Amino acid sequence: MHRTLHSPEVAVELTSGSIVMPLDFAELFNRDAPVEIDVGCGDGTFLVEMAAQNPARNFLGIERHAGRVDRVCHKVTRFGLGNVRILRLDLAYAISCLLPSESIAALHLLFPDPWPKRRHHRRRSVTSGFVKAVHRALAPGGLFHVTTDHAEYFRQIQRLTATQFTISGEPSEFPKTKFEQHFATTGTPIYRLLLRKISPLR
């Protein structure tokens, strides 16, 4: 169903015959375990640390840029992490078409491009369609974790998720991405949502 690239058994490229089929996580990871997704995983700082801290869980990073995929593969191989896979593919397509319904425990979307100019808002990752796709893919009670440094984008995400998710009161003890580390040094406010899936898809 799949063929590997960049680094064997880490990065996965879908073949033309499987690109419309939902992922088989048991096959992809060679085991059954809860799956967490890091959407737009960048250089893999968050993904790799999460995987190292949670060996009983599987972690799938989705990233479309080849250079970033290579960097993540290098880190995963260096730390000997067998519970990480990287999917090189368009983010919206992967979330909408390749994640089986109610199949993932958590989805992390960390510092997506805010496209601050109004004429560029249509390019933002978080749309009503994206939220519906995330809701469909999450298992009951699954976690949707979003961070941004852009206040207006944060408010938009709050509005889009208000009817199908509830705010989680759990501590937000997660590894810091390079963006978050940088913003901490500059005093830039960081906006975070920890949401739990609660309502039926509408």
Place of tokens 């390749």: 98
HSE-CB for 60 with a 13 A CA cutoff: 28
The single residue of 24, 38, 90, 113 carrying the catalytic annotation is 113
Cβ neighbours of residue 6 closer than 8 Å, sequence gap 6 or more: 66, 69, 70, 73, 86, 88
CB 105, CB 35: distance < 8 Å: yes
Can 149 be counted among the known catalytic residues? no
For residue 50 the two structure tokens come to 């999460």
For residue 25 the two structure tokens come to 């996580």
Residues 23, 30: Cα–Cα separation, whole Å: 13
Cβ neighbours of residue 153 closer than 8 Å, sequence gap 6 or more: 112, 114, 116, 124, 126
168, containing H or E segment: none
Place of tokens 């510092």: 111
Chain centroid offset of residue 132 CA? 15
Positions marked active-site: 113
